[in-house]
Amino acid sequence: MSGTKHNWTKEDILGIYNKPLMELLYEAAIVHRLNHDPNVVQVSTLLSIKTGGCSEDCGYCPQAARYHTNIEGNDLMSVQQVKAQALRAKARGSSRVCMGAAWRNVKDGVEFDAVLEMVRTINKLDMEVCCTLGMITENQAQRLAEAGLYAYNHNLDASEAYYKKIISTRGYQDRLDTIANVRKTNVTVCSGGIIGMGENIEDRAGMLVALSTLNPQPESTPINALVAVEGTPLEDEKPVSIWDMIRMVATTRIVMPKTQIRLSAGRTQMSREGQAMCFFAGANSVFAGDKLLTTPNPDVNEDIEMFELLGLNLQKPFTKKDQPQTVEAQASQFKSLGEKPKWTRPTHKIERNERANKKG
Ligand code: SAM
Ligand code: DTB
Ligand code: SF4
């Protein structure tokens, strides 16, 4: 991404975030127009291919086994089920399928082989395929690339400092290492975060420093508003204000001009007018599907109506980058090397995570 600035500081970013709103919107809208067609929206459909029962303690997540949430868990879906869902998403205007698994990290074996088959299958439907499976090694990233993966979603989620207050079972460096592993392949990087977890504006700026100083910057960045799920440590967090969401999107657009910015979790709380302001401020993608992974999302038909109302056209698959080739002949080259990844387990305690664990 030549011409993109990679040395944003927290002060720069705070200066942008705190501008008078009309100035911020105007500036972001100009950057948006210089780098994207403002009348196009990209739609990704989420598919939870393995739900719940996760070993991690992410304070926001209803899928962590240790919290007492009311979600329906599921083992890994079959390739046939995934294909049927992908075809349904394609018929409803989606250019990308994003498959999520409630895993800490990918383990080699039959389940990963099945995911590779899912990737090959969706790529052959001429759709962009994204996966979010937790931490992955370089070898696993290569095998996903060979199968035809278009994007890998791995969020930084927070600033490094605030991350420690939300998650204790893995470290920030693990997130960065996974992103670096994806970068060694031709798979694009999708990485963003969550607002509304009790962080302050400095923490938000810190997260944007971490994302915008990646070189190259992520090709796509989801901005999630926390969905505060009962039973999780963050269940009592107040819904994020739409003005904060608009400021966050606009600031992200200015510091990451070429990135596709995706309105993600939290859209059921946002009015059409609020979402329209986000699109004006530089958002140009959404996660669609009647469900996110486990929580509600706007109805697909309502989204289609909203796009018509706003004059937003659907982006076709592979507009930004060519379709990856599925390299069947060479797949053996990337068979498991028996790598022993050294993902960390920090030892600090997060009181509200422990409290939510004990509550029953
Ligand atoms: N297990 C993998 C991981 O953690 O990377 C992939 C799935 S995980 C559910 C994907 C992302 O969903 C998280 O990084 C977080 O940004 C988002 N997420 C999870 N729960 C959320 C919630 N309650 N509100 C908003 N975003 C959430
Ligand atoms: C992302 O940034 N947001 C999506 C996707 N990547 C995988 C997930 C949102 C999950 C919201 C909570 C749930 O539905 O479980
Ligand atoms: Fe597991 Fe991912 Fe949820 Fe964390 S965010 S508990 S790793 S599914």
Mean pLDDT, 10 residues at a time, over the chain (360 residues)? 85 98 98 98 98 97 97 97 97 97 96 97 98 97 97 98 97 97 98 98 98 98 98 97 98 98 98 98 95 96 97 97 82 58 88 92
CATH code, domain with 239: 3.20.20.70
pLDDT recorded at residue 45? 98
Domain assignment of residue 274, yes or no: yes
Nearest ligand 2 atom to alpha carbon 229:
12
Please check whether residue 166 lies inside any domain of the structure.
yes
Does the predicted model carry a pTM greater than 0.75? Answer: yes
Alpha helix positions (H), the chain: 10-17, 21-35, 79-91, 110-124, 138-147, 160-163, 172-183, 201-212, 242-255, 272-280, 300-310, 351-358
Task: Give 293 Cα–ligand 1 centroid separation in angstroms.
Answer: 9
Instruction: Give the tens place of pLDDT for each residue, 37-88.
Output: 999 999 999 999 999 999 999 999 999 999 999 999 999 999 999 999 999 9
The verdict on the CB of residue 265 being under 6 Å from ligand 3 is no
Q: Considering its fold, how many domains does the chain have in total?
A: 1
Per the domain annotation, does 334 fall within a domain? Answer: no
Residues marked as catalytic: 54, 58, 61, 98, 130, 190, 262
Model pLDDT, residue 1: 45
Ligand 3 lined by 61 (C-beta under 6 Å): yes
**Is the shortest distance between the CB of 294 and ligand 2 below 6 Å?**
yes
Answer whether 102 contacts ligand 3 (Cβ < 6 A): yes
- Does 344 reside within a domain? no
Residue 358 within a domain: no
**Which structural domain range is residue 297 located in?**
10-315
- Taking each helix axis from N to C terminus, what angle separates 138-147 and 110-124, rounded to the nearest 10 degrees? 40
pLDDT of residue 317: 97
Residue whose pair of structure tokens reads 């035809």 in the numeric block: 148
Burial call 220-240: b when 16+ CB within 10 Å, e when fewer: bbbbbbbbbbeebbbbebeeb
- Nearest one of 156, 182, 170 to 103, comparing CA atoms: 170
Task: Please indicate whether residue 248, judged by its CB atom, sits closer than 6 Å to ligand 2.
Answer: no
Check pocket membership of 292 for ligand 2, CB cut-off 6 A.
yes
Query: How many angstroms does the Cα of residue 61 sit away from the middle of ligand 2?
Result: 9
Cα(85) to centroid(ligand 3), Å: 22
Residue 2 lies in a domain: no
Quick check: is 84 in a domain? yes
In a mutational test of the pocket of ligand 2, which residue from 224, 262, 268, 290 has the highest number of ligand atoms less than 8 Å from its CB?
224
Ligand 2 pocket, residue 218 CB under 6 Å: no
For residue 212, tell me if it sits in a domain.
yes
**Which atom of ligand 2 lies closest to the CA of 292?**
14
- Counting ligands in written order, the one closest to the CA of 292 is 2
- Residue 337: the pLDDT is 61
The alpha carbon torsion through 300, 282, 266, 102 (nearest 10 deg) reads 90
Ligand 2 centroid to residue 58 C-alpha, Å: 12
